[in-house]
Structure 1
Amino acid sequence: MSLRLDTDKDTGVAVVTLDRPEKLNAIDLATAAELSAAWRGLRFDDAVRAVVLTGTGGRAFSTGLDRDAVVPQPSSPYSQDDPLIAIGPKTNDLWKPVIAAVAGMACGGAFYLLGEADFVIADETAAFFDPHTSYGMVSAYESVLMAQRMPYGEVARMVLMGNAERVSARRAYEVGLVSEVTEPGQALAAAVRCATVIAGYPAEGVQGSVRALWAAKEAARERGYGQAPYLIALGNLPDDRQAELFGNRPRTTPPRIR
């Protein structure tokens, strides 16, 4: 198992933990399936009234899709199998509040999860970036989700600068991606504190509020998602060229932190 689910029946808080520290919590196909199953299972657990999502190891919340995952694609540009499309709580019809606790790197496919969290708490080690363009890939779904959480110019810069820049926890707080910055190692505790407060409120009102908030974003997200497969089919380099860029591109300077 590459996912842990810990539930405190006394507080009504569940903690979902990505548990592949040796892979920087990258999401392979098995982990994707486990995430979807966890969210759908939590819908039926009435003892859980709020959820915290985090990653283990401290080096990364998640670095997105595992590069070793093999995802066959149909030849038609009108169809695409995205292995991460169904890893978020809202996509799985979970309307209990989800708070993300981020330490270390959060990049690329991690935004499928952060984009469907209700708010994000990060510690000072957190760094957000989107490497797609560096590897000849279109950032389609990730950019749509982040455009609903950050000002357009900030998302555009993060997407277009690729591996060259990382957004610090402090900058993420300034632009609204993160709601609180903690000392190193304290994001999970802060998220659990918030979740415990929320879990103490009547569940019907909380879940209705989550659903109403998401409805305000849903239409724009669906329009963006609708064009994503075509943009990816047109703009992505072939797999062998992506792999060449990923494996053979030496880093001459460390990424700039802003």
Structure 2
Amino acid sequence: MSVPGITVERDRETGVAVVTLDRAAKHNAITLEMARGLSAVWRGFRYEDEIRAIVVTGAGGRAFCTGVDRSAEVPQPSSPYTIDDPLLTIGPKANDLWKPVVAAVEGMACGGAFYLLGEAEFLVAGEDATFFDPHTTYGMVSAFETVHMAQRMPFGEVARMALMGGAERISARRAHETGLVSELTPPGGALAAALAAAGVIAGHPTEAVQGTVRALWSVREAARAQALAHAPHLVALGNLPPDRQAELFDGRSTGHRVR
């Protein structure tokens, strides 16, 4: 299956596949078609026994992903108790895939990118990568993103990132210090390092690896599922109307602080 904006490469000799968000000109923002395609890609990997580990990355080096494409129109139900979120199933765990996934991050990773990063086993990042969550800046609740990142970062760090919005970015070095990133590389080196790690993992007996992945996720699964269940209501009740969001987005300041 070919989906515009997604490239999948398989190395059947090493057992490693690479899933690339391939919209470099748009900072790898995810279209609705890409969101559906990612879900299909992850579900498809469940049936490819020769693929034993996967790397997910973004094309171009300027961004891993900047979330959902703002031009995407997503009709919403009128009930405040539910919300249609096209990114809910873009990650491997949401699609019942328990093969290990390593994220290779270069450049910006923000907002909706956290749906993917939150469901990877670990992150490798180039030293010039930055992480931030602009939701509050634009009158939007950071709910799903914050839940995903709260599984990977100290509470104070994820709270600061979410509440500061677009005014502050976390450097790759700070992300490494706080545990979000497991390995730092020189700029441009994240993919090679992630492939090397994935290759080692793919060389181990697959049943043991997948069992370990499942055990790791079971540690926090109940709390994570409960938190994610609250997210649609918080978003539906707390988001500004789309026209007000657009006003804030169009009038945004480009100034930000990296720490």
- Normalising by structure 2, report the TM-score: 0.98
Corresponding letter in the other structure for 2:176: Y
Deviation per residue, 1:90-111 (Å, 9 max, x gap): 0001100000000000000000
Deviation at 1:250, TM superposition (A): 3.6
Give unmatched runs, 5+ long, in structure 1: none
Give the 5 Å matches for 1:64-143.
Answer: 64-143=67-146
Deviation per residue, 1:77-121 (Å, 9 max, x gap): 122111000000000011000000000000000000000000000
**Residues 82 and 236, structure 2, Cα contact 8 Å, conserved in 1:** no
The alignment partner of 2:64 has SS state of strand
Q: Quick one: distance in 2 between partners of 1:228 and 1:32?
A: 19
Question: Are residue 145 (structure 1) and residue 180 (structure 2) matched?
Answer: no
Q: Give the length in aligned residue pairs.
A: 256
Partner of 1:44: 47
**Residues 21 and 59, structure 2, Cα contact 8 Å, conserved in 1:** yes
Corresponding letter in the other structure for 2:117: L
Identity %: 68
Q: Quick one: distance in 2 between partners of 1:249 and 1:195?
A: 39
Please tell me the root mean square deviation across aligned C-alpha atoms, in Å. 0.7
Corresponding letter in the other structure for 1:192: L
Question: Are residue 63 (structure 1) and residue 66 (structure 2) matched?
Answer: yes
Corresponding letter in the other structure for 2:29: A
Partner of 1:217: 220
Partner of 1:256: 257
Corresponding letter in the other structure for 1:106: A
- Normalising by structure 1, report the TM-score: 0.98
Give unmatched runs, 5+ long, in structure 2: none
Q: Quick one: distance in 1 between partners of 2:147 and 2:252?
A: 27
Give the 5 Å matches for 1:115-194.
Answer: 115-194=118-197
**Residues 126 and 189, structure 2, Cα contact 8 Å, conserved in 1:** yes
Q: Quick one: distance in 2 between partners of 1:137 and 1:79?
A: 15
Deviation at 1:233, TM superposition (A): 1.4
Deviation at 1:249, TM superposition (A): 2.6
